[in-house]
Structure 1
């Protein structure tokens, strides 16, 4: 039976995205709302601007700083650090844009490039410069060690920030939205600050544990991803039965829809009418 949450529940407003059944066409299986799409586009422009400046600084260092006699070591180090900061900033904006408007796994090359572009740009912005630092004839061994060592460290940091470890996809968002809608009848999930997953109701123990701000957030699947959550919890089935007021039969029906064994229209229901136990959405 669903219990009253111990913490304040805060609703995160977000436009609802649309999902489509897989038809074998080129239509996306999950489409963000125009507002989210526009925000993603702005973030991508910011990323490109930051990366363009970073690569411009790299070229300045290669074609001017490294050709000076003697090489201005502190200027070179400053360029490396600023280039790293710009690379990381661009990667963070790019990742957030991908959460708002993810790629589809159907195009494997585009999916990889779109999600790992931050790491690719970091390598492009640093590797040539690092190689030329060690090959430079205007620097002594100590200068090369200092500048090259800092360059390698900054490259590793920028690449680590650029890698997408939990790459979002249209297919993932569509599946998670379908799970939540089939189970609860609406696109609404719950999460806390600092966590990496979201849940199907506010009564689960994980969202009622002590968190950074002592609040539970609710919103759509898209809003949860926008807030930095990687995925729906893998334990949604047991949480739905043990804490959210749903029966095992209801969970089995949802899984049947996901596997294609039952049509979606046969499962979506008003949980307040079919189950006498109050579900997460009935407490308000």
Structure 2
């Protein structure tokens, strides 16, 4: 096995709000899609995680409701004034944008704790892209009414409309989920890790975008933001902001973690469906969240 890391390894306890259970019993392999009932979820959070996700969603919904309320105030009061108070209008646009972004960040964190299933494509899309949808609702009508307002001259429309478009784009970007978490992904990653290592435990660093099957891989031993390696469950890694298990888990397991090619091949053979879920997930090829933290990975490795 590779030499142990010289960096401090910090245990992330299965946090109340980040630990998980999967439907069905038996072995890790049996708890994949084939070992559950037709009406059971692929992966379910603990009650604590579910409760935390629900609270975050309520706070996000409140932030979005206030943002839309400010939009309505701007449409039915500020734009009706003669002359239009430009500072008040721009202030309303900026505050609406801030609330929209805050709501989206909270909603994304809730989705990490309690992801949707891909089996319901409509719900999966809406749950993961709701922040972007809300941003469009909160800004598009206001922007249209700014450009068609008869109480503003051309320069005022250009200024207010331009600010509105920029804030809309920023809010929409923050609201868009580019790596949408799913129950299928969480179940597949947990099954693979447990089958290979015998325990639901992975390793990651602050600032990185992926997690790994052992603490001795080079990517987690490079210089990082706080000089620490974190270890915990797959669910804890996702709750900590990691997008997924590295696509290079097979080569890392053999080169750095002390597992044999035969062991890795056995996991791939027994959990071929889970491996396919991981490889076909809509996440991009492994790439560092910041250059000093993790090396670039090739999707073919």
- The two structures have a TM-score, normalised by structure 1, of 0.90
Aligned counterpart, 2:26: none
Report the Cα offset of residue 260 of structure 1: 6.1
Instruction: Classify the secondary structure of the residue corresponding to 1:69.
Output: coil
Correspondence 1:231 to 2:244:
yes
Correspondence 1:9 to 2:9:
yes
Q: Measure, in 2, the Cα distance between the counterparts of 1:102 and 1:164.
A: 12
Would you identify which runs of 4 or more consecutive aligned residues in structure 1 move more than 2 Å? 20-24
Correspondence 1:41 to 2:54:
yes
Correspondence 1:242 to 2:255:
yes
Summarize the alignment of residues 216-227 of structure 1 with structure 2, pairs less than 5 Å apart. Answer: 216-227=229-240
Report the Cα offset of residue 139 of structure 1: 0.3
Deviations 1:12-58 (A, max 9, x none): 11154112332461211111111111110110001000000000000
The unaligned stretches of length 5 or more in structure 1 are: 262-284
Report the Cα offset of residue 2 of structure 1: 3.0
Aligned counterpart, 2:105: 92
Correspondence 1:18 to 2:31:
no
Give RMSD over aligned pairs: 1.1
Aligned counterpart, 1:273: none
Structure number with bigger Rg: 1
Instruction: Classify the secondary structure of the residue corresponding to 2:229.
Output: strand
Q: Measure, in 2, the Cα distance between the counterparts of 1:14 and 1:64.
A: 50
Aligned counterpart, 2:278: none
Q: Measure, in 2, the Cα distance between the counterparts of 1:231 and 1:65.
A: 45
Aligned counterpart, 1:121: 134
Deviations 1:190-216 (A, max 9, x none): 000010000000000000000000000
Correspondence 1:185 to 2:198:
yes
Q: Measure, in 2, the Cα distance between the counterparts of 1:253 and 1:18.
A: 24
Correspondence 1:130 to 2:143:
yes
216-225 or 22-31, which deviates more: 22-31
Deviations 1:93-114 (A, max 9, x none): 0000000000000000000000
Deviations 1:151-205 (A, max 9, x none): 0000000000000000000000000000000000000000000100000000000
**Which one of 65, 72, 80 corresponds to residue 67 of structure 1?**
80
Correspondence 1:54 to 2:57:
no
Q: Measure, in 1, the Cα distance between the counterparts of 2:118 and 2:253.
A: 29
The unaligned stretches of length 5 or more in structure 2 are: 24-30, 275-301
**Which one of 188, 191, 212 corresponds to residue 225 of structure 2?**
212
